[in-house]
Amino acid sequence: METATNHEEKLGSTINLTRDMQGEALVMMVDDEALVIELTQAFLEDAGYKRFVHTTQAPEAIAIMLRERPHVVLLDINMPHMNGFQILERMRANPLLQYVPVIVLTSADDPDTKLKALELGASDFLRKPVDASELVLRMRNILAAKAYHDFLAYYDRGTGLINRQRFLGELERTLLEADTAARMGALLHIGLDRFKQINEALGPVSGDEVIGEVSRRLRGTLQAQAMPGRRRGDKPFAGRMSGTEFAVLLPMISNQEHPARVAEELLRALARPCQVGGKDLHVTASIGVALFPADASQLDDLVKNAAAALQEAKSAGGNSCRFYSKELNVRAVQRLNVEEELRRALERGELRLFYQPKFLLASNEMNGAEALMRWQHPERGLVAPNDFIPVAEESGLIVPLGDWALNAACRQMQEWGVAGLRRVPVAVNVSPRQFRPELSGVVGAAVAATGQADFLHLELTESSLMGNPTAAISMLGELRDLGMRLSIDDFGTGYSSLSYLHLLPLHELKIDRSFIATIVPGKGEAVLVDVIIAMAHSLGLTVVAEGVETQHQLDYLRAHGCDECQGYFFSKPLPATEFAEKYLRGA
């Protein structure tokens, strides 16, 4: 149950939004005189307002309002074709516009005109020419009143999320925009699993605390998912639909996998223990997903389809996501299963490292290896990385998997050294998600425990280094100080800035296999390969070609100065024992 203090805090925070309204509020001006619009906008810009839409054609006003959804309208009365009174009547008759505040600005100041404007729903009345300070004061008061009204009418008082009425209104507007712009979106219907048990066991006050925590986690997850640069109406948001049901709208999705990833993040966030009254409560949720326009383009149909998908998720036992579309549903279920099994694989020790040798082109001598992860599934056998690495990347599991690989490679090298085998450096891949400030600590601990700093090499992707070159320079410096040899992997597939590349403390550059595949008999020069080799050598870097599969590719790379290579032409990745037997014994 919400206390008076909680209510006041929520209401106070809502009204305090008006302090920043100048920057956020969308002001619409309807006046047949362009000069009046220009002067009024200048007044408001001086006061800090930044967002405007206007028209001198009165018949267009309602359509623009429905499309833009202004926070306040400044409306002239005497206009050709359609006057301000007619616009007011149409606004108040439209459920989507009936509560939008209107300030009438007109040169007519007779009592009848003013009275009629107020009777038709005008919020305020100002005579032209308008005094700038008075206009700004009236705007501030009206927006404060609107914030208060919106809180009472459109927000759920227990969570601060928008309520069902407001959510459905925003959903309807989004569907209209999506139809016009021919874009995709998704509706996620979320229901808490077995929440009734919490209410019965701990009481409604504890239940309300759980609901509040659920809403905070929904908001936090969506904020993390929001892409920077998108306009406000394109960002995801959540609403409370009923006691234990919520909804999330993704107004714009890049592909059909997008809502599946968001649903996974939401399920993980909601499944974390929730502390109430000193106790850890485990609350899970079910999610039903319907896409628009694929599953429906009309409001009622889309809501119905998402609800049907939610019921299917609950019938499956909860803590899961289901799509209304059968095809996407199968893919989503498979993806969630892979992720859950992968988490268990890490706990159960089902992961393995295989080793692919690297060779010097000048002497054909094996001079190192790359450690590559494999999954020894108890039922499906050896799982190829393409079947689980993408899921690990998108879910964030790649971080613990990558940390495991670093430690496993160091332990393996230590075992080879204790056994008296030949020592060669082993390269371990570092994913973009791993490339974070904590990485040097993880690497430092791994080499300190095993003494393998001289033999552990790190391969970092081009995209992770160039995402923030300044930070990359600092982090690479820390790794180099630990004794690491550093390589930029899959070079040529990203967007390297040459102005930063020469500043990175790298030792090696690996040419992506897609470029090596262009080296075929009869094709002549592989110009990009030649350029990459020459550029790398000019920067003092060793050049490694990966994915070498033919004698012709090997001969070409040797003739053009490539230093090292690896690929199936020499050897596929091998288990540790087989790699040691073939390449490390007897040396």
Q: Which of 246, 266, 248 is nearest to 321 (CA)?
A: 266
Q: Is the pLDDT of residue 494 over 80?
A: no
Percent above pLDDT 90 for the chain: 44
Q: Is the pLDDT of residue 563 over 60?
A: yes
Of the segments 205-214, 272-281, 411-420, 527-536, which one has the largest average pLDDT value?
411-420
The first and second tokens of residue 462, run together, are 């081009």
- DSSP for residue 162: B
CB 328 within 8 A of CB 260: yes
Percent above pLDDT 70 for the chain: 91
pLDDT tens digits along 68-97 = 889 999 999 999 999 999 999 999 898 888
Q: Helices 164-181 and 299-315 sit at what angle, rounded to 10 degrees?
A: 110
pLDDT tens digits along 118-148 = 888 888 888 888 888 888 888 888 888 777 7
With helix as H, strand as E and coil as C, how does 327-365 read? Answer: HHHHHHHHHHHHHHHHHHHHHHCCEEEEEEEEEECCCCC
pLDDT tens digits along 316-374 = 788 889 998 777 667 767 777 888 899 899 999 999 999 999 999 999 899 999 999 99
At residue 131, what is the residue type? D
- DSSP for residue 46: H
Distance CA 469, CA 496 (A): 9
pTM for the model: 0.55
Distance CA 105, CA 129 (A): 9
Distance CA 161, CA 144 (A): 19
18 DSSP β-pair partners: none
Tokens 């019938």, residue?
A: 315
CB 15 within 8 A of CB 147: yes
Report the pLDDT value the prediction gives residue 12, as an integer from 0 to 100. 42
Largest CA distance in the chain: 106
Burial, 396: exposed, middle or buried (Cβ in 10 Å; 0-12, 13-18, 19+)?
middle
User: What pairing do the DSSP bridges indicate for beta strands 508-511 and 485-491?
Assistant: parallel
Which of residues 15 and 119 earns the better pLDDT score? 119
Report the pLDDT value the prediction gives residue 232, as an integer from 0 to 100. 58
**Domains recognised in the chain with CATH numbers:** 4-154 (3.40.50.2300), 164-341 (3.30.70.270), 349-584 (3.20.20.450)
- DSSP for residue 275: E
The first and second tokens of residue 196, run together, are 């009734």
> Cis omega before residue 129 (within 30°)?
yes
With helix as H, strand as E and coil as C, how does 461-481 read? Answer: EHHHHHCCHHHHHHHHHHHHH
pLDDT tens digits along 499-533 = 677 888 899 999 988 899 989 888 877 888 999 99
User: What pairing do the DSSP bridges indicate for beta strands 185-192 and 285-292?
Assistant: antiparallel
Distance CA 483, CA 527 (A): 35
Neighbours of 348 (CB within 10 A): 11
CB 328 within 8 A of CB 294: no
Report the pLDDT value the prediction gives residue 401, as an integer from 0 to 100. 94
Confidence of residue 312 (pLDDT cuts 50, 70, 90): confident
Please state, rounded to an integer, the average pLDDT across all residues of the chain.
86
Q: Is the pLDDT of residue 9 over 80?
A: no
Q: Length of the chain in residues, anyone? A: 587
The first and second tokens of residue 351, run together, are 């992961």
Which of residues 246 and 281 earns the better pLDDT score? 246
Report the pLDDT value the prediction gives residue 13, as an integer from 0 to 100. 42
Confidence of residue 3 (pLDDT cuts 50, 70, 90): very low
